Structure 1
Amino acid sequence: MSTTPHPTERLLQTVTGPLPARSVPGPALAHEHLVLDLDRKGDGAAVLDAQRHGPAVTRELAALREEFGLGLVIELTCRGMGRDPDTLARIARESGVAVVAATGWYYEPFHPAADLDGAGVEQLTDTLVQEIDAGLDGTGIRPGVLGEVGSHGETPTEPESRSLRAAARAALATGLSVATHAQLGHGGLAQLDLLTAEGLPPERLCIGHQDLLAEPAVHRRLAEAGAYVAFDTVGKESYQSDEVRLRLLLALLEAGHADRVLLSCDISRHGYLLTEGGQGYGHLFRSFLPAVRSAGVDDDLIDLMTRRNPLRFLTGAGPEEF
């Protein structure tokens, strides 16, 4: 399919340049990490290193493109998480899978002191807008989303509130959307209230890790408000069983909110890679979605959740598009 945009074409900002959203041929992974460093214990577990693990990541994505038509990865490694835009661009080129990079701040334990200490919301907003306009870390590679902007607990801490508010303001200034990290699924409603209070339309917001929160009423409230609800830790059985995830997802679908669902695996340590015996980025396609189909969900709804919804989230497109 041609990538020459129509004058009114909605574009994704990927690590290899602008891409017409309609040219994404298949499903997306809505919340992943391809390179990151969250190592706080010194054991190197919460790491995806460019040199040691990058080739395996590339091979996994290329295989998923061939087997399932994987067309897009939304990569939510932001400031303070070991972000590496050049490696993301190389993985995208070598795998043939488009990658959208991110800016923003994770939750407070991972806030870089140089960024957050003493910085007000306006200063933080300026930092984000500059990265969105000029590129990440001096590379010229521009982000296409704000995220995973984080909080932990039922309400954000003061620094988390500043970073979330800055993300909302930067999103409004640049036209990007915001994906959040809600630690273990908690605090999503508070994130929704804070971000929308800054003027961010709920349809430009995705609340993260809701499959870790076994509270269907919260999922419904988020969806009814118009926000996207991320079931994005699929396969992380040590946090939540996929059996429970499936039950929670079916409840949200039965409530009529398939158009608010985003799905992914949130691969965040090298032990999750196939080469190391983990479930890999393809667990969603190889294991979870077959279970969803077996529960009676048809292919149109699966396409909605895995392709159309991610494109609408990133671009702000309406339900009639894609």
Structure 2
Amino acid sequence: MNSLLRTVTGPLSVTAVRGPVLAHEHLALDLSRPTDRTASLTARHALAVADELAGLRRQFGLSLVVELTCRGMGRDPAALARISWASGVAVVAGTGWYHEAFHPAEVAGASVEELADRLVEEIEGGMGADGPSPGVIGEVGSHGDRPSEPEVRTLTAAARAAVATGLSLATHAQLGRGGLAQLEVLTAAGLEPRRISVGHQDLFDDATVHRELAAAGAYVAFDTVGKESYQSDATRLRLLLALLEAGHADRVLLSCDISRHSYLVGEGGHGYGHLFRSFLPRLRMAGADDELIDLLTRRNPLRFLTGGDGAAGQPVRRGATVPLPESGLADREAPT
């Protein structure tokens, strides 16, 4: 287990992360296209982003953001460093390739070996001439039930780079689909499931798949909390409670995946703090205690990033469950 996190402002000890972690966010990106002009968080939004994070640090103790904007997504490492300094919240940056629709030209015709070497070079040498080093690989993507041929190459290359550098890997599963297929590709390339977070599973209403991913040892990311136009938080909560009751509390990651400026609080959106202000209180009403909340929001993401069996000096046994009220979580009606 690596006890140091690679953040955009320098190494950070795991033990210094005392508050919650947002496990899948975007602070600076540009996915805008002619059909969608608002999928961006550019320089003009940086102050609003930093202000939101600073407010969450003061109110909820937010300590770390895992920023999964990778190659071809309008990544801006310098902006991430400025936002981190301004907000007082540590930021871990990502690398890799998103799903095929957003692959940059460098992917076309490149072999798995060439792609993996490119990622290793960036991880070891930094993003750009003077940029910080990525501290995670992701969000590496696919769409549909099976990855396309270019996505198989980028996923395989990302897994090989993760093995070579010791970084963990987070995926983008479009609308939550194809997570098991992603896991198959990544593990076939030699990456251990405990170093893998399968993304957007809260968009996929299939508790059986969630259990299979967790039982295999992968992290199951409920990372679009608050995106009600895609999935209701009531459904997210139901799926989460089912996974917790199945004994997989130690394999859950939570976040909001803020990926366009209209989601910012200043523009009327639910913001990065929706997890803390809305979703976690509902989880508490369903029976979660402080230990479970700490596991889901701090210890799990730290274990994911470091590859350890425990985080911040608190071991978690595989398959362990956190003590819950005698009535159990699933036996209680989830609030709407």
- The normalised TM-score by structure 2 is 0.92
Partner of 1:112: 104
Shift of 1:319: 3.4
Shift of 1:25: 1.6
Distance in 2 separating the partners of 1:216 and 1:14: 34
Partner of 2:318: none
**Could you tell me which of 229, 243, 253 is aligned with 1:238?**
229
| Matching of residue 168 in structure 1 with residue 159 in structure 2 | yes
**Could you tell me which of 83, 86, 98 is aligned with 2:75?**
83
| Matching of residue 38 in structure 1 with residue 31 in structure 2 | yes
1:1-322 maps to which residues of 2 (within 5 A)? 10-41=3-34, 43-50=36-43, 52-113=44-105, 115-319=106-310, 321-322=313-314
SS in 1 for 2:310: coil
Paired residues of 1:177 and 1:205 also in contact (CA < 8 A):
yes
Q: Provide the aligned length of Structure 1 versus Structure 2.
A: 313
SS in 1 for 2:288: coil
Paired residues of 1:61 and 1:97 also in contact (CA < 8 A):
yes
Letter in 2 for 1:180: T
Paired residues of 2:226 and 2:233 also in contact (CA < 8 A):
yes
Distance in 1 separating the partners of 2:254 and 2:242: 15
Distance in 2 separating the partners of 1:272 and 1:158: 33
Percent identity reads: 70
Task: List structure 1 runs of 4+ shifted beyond 2 angstroms.
Answer: 41-44, 137-140, 319-322
Q: Deviations over 1:23-63 (max 9, x none)?
A: 0120000000000000012652001012x100000000000
Distance in 2 separating the partners of 1:251 and 1:157: 31
Letter in 2 for 1:234: V
Shift of 1:137: 2.4
SS in 2 for 1:262: strand
Distance in 1 separating the partners of 2:232 and 2:35: 28
Shift of 1:139: 2.7
- The normalised TM-score by structure 1 is 0.96
Gapped regions of structure 1 (runs ≥ 5): 1-7
Distance in 2 separating the partners of 1:117 and 1:218: 32
Distance in 2 separating the partners of 1:294 and 1:18: 37
Letter in 1 for 2:307: G
Q: Which moved more, 1:229-238 or 1:134-143?
A: 134-143
Shift of 1:297: 1.0
Gapped regions of structure 2 (runs ≥ 5): 315-336
Distance in 1 separating the partners of 2:229 and 2:35: 21
